[in-house]
Structure 1
Amino acid sequence: MAGLKSLKKTRRIQIIILAFVALALSTGLIGYALQDGINYYRSPSEVIAEPPRADEVFRMGGLVSDGSIVRGQGETVSFSVTDGAETVPVRYTGVLPDLFSENQGMIGTGTYVEGVFEATEILAKHDEEYMPKEVVDSLKETGVYVEPDY
Protein backbone atom coordinates (compact mmCIF):
# COMPACT_ATOMS: atom_id res chain seq x y z
CA MET A 1 0.00 0.00 0.00
CA ALA A 2 2.87 2.41 0.79
CA GLY A 3 4.30 1.85 -2.71
CA LEU A 4 0.99 2.90 -4.33
CA LYS A 5 0.85 6.24 -2.43
CA SER A 6 4.47 6.90 -3.33
CA LEU A 7 3.73 6.20 -7.01
CA LYS A 8 0.72 8.58 -7.01
CA LYS A 9 2.80 11.30 -5.35
CA THR A 10 5.62 10.84 -7.89
CA ARG A 11 3.14 10.93 -10.78
CA ARG A 12 1.52 14.12 -9.39
CA ILE A 13 4.93 15.82 -9.10
CA GLN A 14 5.79 14.79 -12.67
CA ILE A 15 2.51 16.28 -13.98
CA ILE A 16 3.11 19.54 -12.09
CA ILE A 17 6.67 19.81 -13.45
CA LEU A 18 5.46 19.02 -16.99
CA ALA A 19 2.72 21.68 -16.73
CA PHE A 20 5.26 24.26 -15.51
CA VAL A 21 7.65 23.47 -18.37
CA ALA A 22 4.81 23.71 -20.91
CA LEU A 23 3.72 27.08 -19.46
CA ALA A 24 7.28 28.45 -19.56
CA LEU A 25 7.76 27.21 -23.13
CA SER A 26 4.48 28.71 -24.38
CA THR A 27 5.24 32.04 -22.65
CA GLY A 28 8.64 32.13 -24.34
CA LEU A 29 7.17 31.34 -27.76
CA ILE A 30 4.49 34.03 -27.41
CA GLY A 31 7.13 36.58 -26.39
CA TYR A 32 9.30 35.63 -29.36
CA ALA A 33 6.34 35.91 -31.76
CA LEU A 34 5.38 39.36 -30.46
CA GLN A 35 8.95 40.64 -30.61
CA ASP A 36 8.59 41.85 -34.22
CA GLY A 37 4.89 42.67 -33.89
CA ILE A 38 5.32 45.71 -31.64
CA ASN A 39 6.34 48.75 -33.67
CA TYR A 40 6.74 51.98 -31.76
CA TYR A 41 5.72 55.26 -33.40
CA ARG A 42 8.25 58.07 -33.74
CA SER A 43 7.94 61.50 -35.32
CA PRO A 44 10.74 62.81 -37.57
CA SER A 45 11.90 65.05 -34.68
CA GLU A 46 12.23 62.02 -32.39
CA VAL A 47 14.14 60.07 -35.05
CA ILE A 48 16.64 62.93 -35.53
CA ALA A 49 16.99 63.60 -31.77
CA GLU A 50 17.54 59.94 -30.84
CA PRO A 51 18.29 57.80 -33.93
CA PRO A 52 17.05 54.22 -33.40
CA ARG A 53 19.30 51.18 -33.85
CA ALA A 54 19.60 50.01 -37.48
CA ASP A 55 17.84 46.73 -36.66
CA GLU A 56 14.88 48.32 -34.81
CA VAL A 57 11.60 48.23 -36.72
CA PHE A 58 9.35 51.22 -35.93
CA ARG A 59 6.63 53.42 -37.43
CA MET A 60 7.26 57.00 -38.50
CA GLY A 61 4.76 59.49 -39.84
CA GLY A 62 4.31 63.06 -40.92
CA LEU A 63 3.66 65.07 -44.05
CA VAL A 64 5.33 64.20 -47.34
CA SER A 65 7.57 67.20 -48.08
CA ASP A 66 6.63 69.34 -51.09
CA GLY A 67 8.77 68.56 -54.15
CA SER A 68 10.58 65.65 -52.48
CA ILE A 69 9.17 62.65 -54.40
CA VAL A 70 11.82 61.15 -56.70
CA ARG A 71 11.12 57.94 -58.60
CA GLY A 72 14.17 55.74 -59.03
CA GLN A 73 14.85 52.40 -60.68
CA GLY A 74 11.83 50.07 -60.88
CA GLU A 75 9.45 50.59 -57.97
CA THR A 76 11.94 52.45 -55.74
CA VAL A 77 10.74 55.86 -54.58
CA SER A 78 12.57 58.40 -52.43
CA PHE A 79 10.87 61.25 -50.59
CA SER A 80 11.09 63.20 -47.35
CA VAL A 81 8.73 63.23 -44.39
CA THR A 82 8.47 66.21 -42.07
CA ASP A 83 6.68 67.11 -38.86
CA GLY A 84 7.42 70.81 -39.38
CA ALA A 85 10.53 70.82 -37.21
CA GLU A 86 12.65 68.03 -38.70
CA THR A 87 12.73 66.20 -42.03
CA VAL A 88 13.77 62.58 -42.59
CA PRO A 89 14.61 61.11 -46.01
CA VAL A 90 12.65 57.94 -46.86
CA ARG A 91 13.33 55.19 -49.39
CA TYR A 92 10.62 52.69 -50.32
CA THR A 93 10.47 49.92 -52.89
CA GLY A 94 6.96 48.86 -53.79
CA VAL A 95 3.67 50.21 -55.01
CA LEU A 96 2.60 53.38 -53.20
CA PRO A 97 -1.03 53.82 -52.08
CA ASP A 98 -3.28 55.71 -54.52
CA LEU A 99 -3.77 58.61 -52.10
CA PHE A 100 -0.03 59.07 -51.49
CA SER A 101 1.04 62.58 -52.53
CA GLU A 102 3.05 65.62 -51.44
CA ASN A 103 1.81 67.65 -48.44
CA GLN A 104 -0.35 64.71 -47.34
CA GLY A 105 -0.12 62.62 -44.19
CA MET A 106 1.49 59.17 -44.22
CA ILE A 107 2.84 56.54 -41.85
CA GLY A 108 5.57 54.11 -42.78
CA THR A 109 6.99 51.03 -41.09
CA GLY A 110 10.68 50.29 -41.44
CA THR A 111 14.19 50.86 -40.10
CA TYR A 112 16.51 53.87 -39.89
CA VAL A 113 19.77 53.02 -41.65
CA GLU A 114 22.59 55.54 -42.21
CA GLY A 115 20.30 58.56 -42.00
CA VAL A 116 17.55 57.16 -44.25
CA PHE A 117 14.26 55.60 -43.19
CA GLU A 118 14.10 52.33 -45.18
CA ALA A 119 10.34 51.72 -45.37
CA THR A 120 8.87 48.26 -45.84
CA GLU A 121 5.26 49.51 -45.76
CA ILE A 122 3.66 52.89 -46.53
CA LEU A 123 0.14 53.87 -45.49
CA ALA A 124 -1.48 57.03 -46.80
CA LYS A 125 -4.45 58.88 -45.40
CA HIS A 126 -7.83 57.43 -46.29
CA ASP A 127 -9.55 60.56 -47.58
CA GLU A 128 -9.20 64.34 -47.68
CA GLU A 129 -10.12 64.83 -44.01
CA TYR A 130 -8.45 61.83 -42.36
CA MET A 131 -4.96 61.89 -40.92
CA PRO A 132 -3.56 59.28 -38.48
CA LYS A 133 -3.75 60.35 -34.82
CA GLU A 134 0.01 59.94 -34.28
CA VAL A 135 0.76 62.26 -37.21
CA VAL A 136 -1.75 64.87 -35.99
CA ASP A 137 -0.24 64.77 -32.48
CA SER A 138 3.34 65.23 -33.74
CA LEU A 139 2.27 68.04 -36.11
CA LYS A 140 0.43 69.78 -33.26
CA GLU A 141 3.59 69.61 -31.12
CA THR A 142 5.54 71.50 -33.79
CA GLY A 143 2.71 73.93 -34.53
CA VAL A 144 2.30 72.84 -38.16
CA TYR A 145 -1.12 71.20 -37.85
CA VAL A 146 -4.09 73.24 -39.02
CA GLU A 147 -7.59 72.11 -37.98
CA PRO A 148 -9.71 71.26 -41.04
CA ASP A 149 -12.77 73.45 -41.55
CA TYR A 150 -15.58 70.95 -42.13
Structure 2
Amino acid sequence: MTQAIGQPNIDVLRAAARGEAPMPPAAKLLGWKPLSLKPGHVRVQYTARPEWYNPQGSVQGGFIAAMLDDAMGPAAFTSLEPGQFAPTLELKVNFYRPVSAGTVIAEGRVVHRTRRILFLEGRLFGEDGELAAGATATARVGQMTPTDGS
Protein backbone atom coordinates (compact mmCIF):
# COMPACT_ATOMS: atom_id res chain seq x y z
CA MET A 1 0.00 0.00 0.00
CA THR A 2 1.45 3.38 -0.92
CA GLN A 3 1.40 6.16 1.62
CA ALA A 4 2.23 9.84 1.37
CA ILE A 5 4.70 11.06 3.97
CA GLY A 6 2.79 12.01 7.11
CA GLN A 7 -0.54 10.67 5.82
CA PRO A 8 -2.49 9.06 8.70
CA ASN A 9 -2.80 5.30 8.31
CA ILE A 10 -6.58 5.37 8.62
CA ASP A 11 -6.71 7.73 5.61
CA VAL A 12 -4.63 5.24 3.61
CA LEU A 13 -7.22 2.52 4.33
CA ARG A 14 -10.10 4.84 3.48
CA ALA A 15 -8.45 5.74 0.16
CA ALA A 16 -7.95 2.04 -0.65
CA ALA A 17 -11.60 1.36 0.17
CA ARG A 18 -12.66 4.11 -2.28
CA GLY A 19 -10.37 2.71 -4.97
CA GLU A 20 -8.09 5.77 -4.80
CA ALA A 21 -5.09 3.78 -3.52
CA PRO A 22 -3.93 0.24 -4.20
CA MET A 23 -5.59 -2.50 -2.19
CA PRO A 24 -3.18 -5.01 -0.61
CA PRO A 25 -3.27 -8.23 -2.70
CA ALA A 26 -4.48 -10.45 0.16
CA ALA A 27 -7.33 -8.05 0.97
CA LYS A 28 -8.26 -7.92 -2.71
CA LEU A 29 -8.28 -11.73 -2.95
CA LEU A 30 -10.56 -11.99 0.09
CA GLY A 31 -12.88 -9.23 -1.18
CA TRP A 32 -12.12 -6.86 1.72
CA LYS A 33 -14.93 -4.28 2.01
CA PRO A 34 -14.74 -1.99 5.05
CA LEU A 35 -17.98 -1.14 6.80
CA SER A 36 -16.39 0.88 9.61
CA LEU A 37 -12.85 2.22 10.05
CA LYS A 38 -12.03 3.81 13.40
CA PRO A 39 -8.70 4.12 15.20
CA GLY A 40 -8.05 0.70 16.71
CA HIS A 41 -11.26 -0.87 15.39
CA VAL A 42 -12.28 -2.16 11.96
CA ARG A 43 -15.46 -3.85 10.76
CA VAL A 44 -15.15 -5.55 7.37
CA GLN A 45 -17.43 -7.48 5.02
CA TYR A 46 -16.27 -10.44 2.95
CA THR A 47 -18.07 -12.75 0.59
CA ALA A 48 -17.14 -16.34 1.41
CA ARG A 49 -17.03 -18.37 -1.78
CA PRO A 50 -17.75 -22.06 -2.44
CA GLU A 51 -14.19 -22.37 -3.87
CA TRP A 52 -13.02 -21.97 -0.27
CA TYR A 53 -14.95 -25.04 0.94
CA ASN A 54 -13.37 -28.02 2.65
CA PRO A 55 -14.61 -31.58 1.89
CA GLN A 56 -17.33 -31.15 4.55
CA GLY A 57 -18.93 -28.31 2.57
CA SER A 58 -18.01 -25.34 4.76
CA VAL A 59 -15.34 -22.65 4.45
CA GLN A 60 -11.88 -24.09 5.14
CA GLY A 61 -10.35 -22.81 8.38
CA GLY A 62 -7.38 -21.17 6.70
CA PHE A 63 -9.70 -18.76 4.87
CA ILE A 64 -11.48 -17.96 8.13
CA ALA A 65 -8.11 -17.28 9.77
CA ALA A 66 -7.11 -15.09 6.82
CA MET A 67 -10.31 -13.03 7.07
CA LEU A 68 -9.79 -12.55 10.80
CA ASP A 69 -6.14 -11.59 10.30
CA ASP A 70 -7.20 -9.19 7.54
CA ALA A 71 -9.56 -7.45 9.98
CA MET A 72 -7.18 -7.35 12.95
CA GLY A 73 -4.22 -6.16 10.85
CA PRO A 74 -5.99 -3.03 9.59
CA ALA A 75 -7.27 -2.35 13.13
CA ALA A 76 -3.64 -2.39 14.25
CA PHE A 77 -2.60 -0.23 11.27
CA THR A 78 -5.16 2.46 12.18
CA SER A 79 -3.61 2.79 15.65
CA LEU A 80 -0.07 3.41 14.37
CA GLU A 81 1.83 6.52 13.36
CA PRO A 82 2.34 7.25 9.66
CA GLY A 83 5.10 5.07 8.27
CA GLN A 84 4.65 2.38 10.92
CA PHE A 85 3.45 -1.16 10.27
CA ALA A 86 2.73 -4.10 12.59
CA PRO A 87 3.09 -7.56 11.04
CA THR A 88 1.39 -10.42 12.85
CA LEU A 89 3.74 -12.41 15.07
CA GLU A 90 1.21 -14.92 16.40
CA LEU A 91 -2.38 -15.81 15.54
CA LYS A 92 -4.77 -18.11 17.40
CA VAL A 93 -8.20 -18.93 15.99
CA ASN A 94 -11.14 -20.61 17.70
CA PHE A 95 -13.72 -22.10 15.34
CA TYR A 96 -17.21 -22.13 16.88
CA ARG A 97 -19.45 -23.07 13.95
CA PRO A 98 -19.13 -23.86 10.25
CA VAL A 99 -19.24 -20.95 7.81
CA SER A 100 -21.07 -21.27 4.48
CA ALA A 101 -20.72 -19.23 1.31
CA GLY A 102 -22.23 -15.78 1.52
CA THR A 103 -21.69 -12.54 3.36
CA VAL A 104 -19.56 -12.69 6.48
CA ILE A 105 -18.56 -9.85 8.78
CA ALA A 106 -15.24 -9.66 10.60
CA GLU A 107 -14.32 -7.23 13.34
CA GLY A 108 -10.81 -6.48 14.48
CA ARG A 109 -9.73 -4.36 17.41
CA VAL A 110 -6.68 -3.37 19.38
CA VAL A 111 -7.06 -4.67 22.93
CA HIS A 112 -3.78 -3.35 24.36
CA ARG A 113 -0.65 -1.67 23.11
CA THR A 114 2.86 -1.23 24.38
CA ARG A 115 5.55 0.75 22.57
CA ARG A 116 6.45 -2.20 20.33
CA ILE A 117 3.70 -4.82 20.71
CA LEU A 118 -0.01 -4.79 19.87
CA PHE A 119 -2.50 -7.29 21.27
CA LEU A 120 -5.44 -7.81 18.94
CA GLU A 121 -8.83 -9.50 18.98
CA GLY A 122 -11.07 -10.53 16.11
CA ARG A 123 -14.54 -11.97 15.63
CA LEU A 124 -16.15 -13.39 12.51
CA PHE A 125 -19.91 -13.65 12.01
CA GLY A 126 -21.66 -15.87 9.48
CA GLU A 127 -24.35 -14.71 7.08
CA ASP A 128 -26.96 -15.40 9.78
CA GLY A 129 -25.21 -12.92 12.12
CA GLU A 130 -24.11 -15.66 14.53
CA LEU A 131 -20.57 -15.69 15.89
CA ALA A 132 -18.65 -18.33 13.90
CA ALA A 133 -15.01 -17.79 14.92
CA GLY A 134 -12.84 -15.70 17.19
CA ALA A 135 -9.15 -14.91 17.20
CA THR A 136 -6.39 -13.25 19.14
CA ALA A 137 -3.14 -12.04 17.67
CA THR A 138 0.08 -10.31 18.61
CA ALA A 139 1.79 -7.87 16.26
CA ARG A 140 5.14 -6.09 16.43
CA VAL A 141 5.36 -2.38 15.66
CA GLY A 142 8.06 -1.39 13.19
CA GLN A 143 8.78 0.95 10.31
CA MET A 144 7.35 0.22 6.89
CA THR A 145 9.99 -0.75 4.38
CA PRO A 146 9.46 -0.43 0.64
CA THR A 147 9.42 -3.68 -1.32
CA ASP A 148 10.04 -4.36 -4.98
CA GLY A 149 6.90 -6.49 -5.20
CA SER A 150 8.73 -9.82 -5.48
TM-score (norm 2): 0.28
Q: 1 or 2, which has the higher helix percentage?
A: 1
Higher RCO, Cα 8 Å, sep 6+: 2
TM-score (norm 1): 0.28
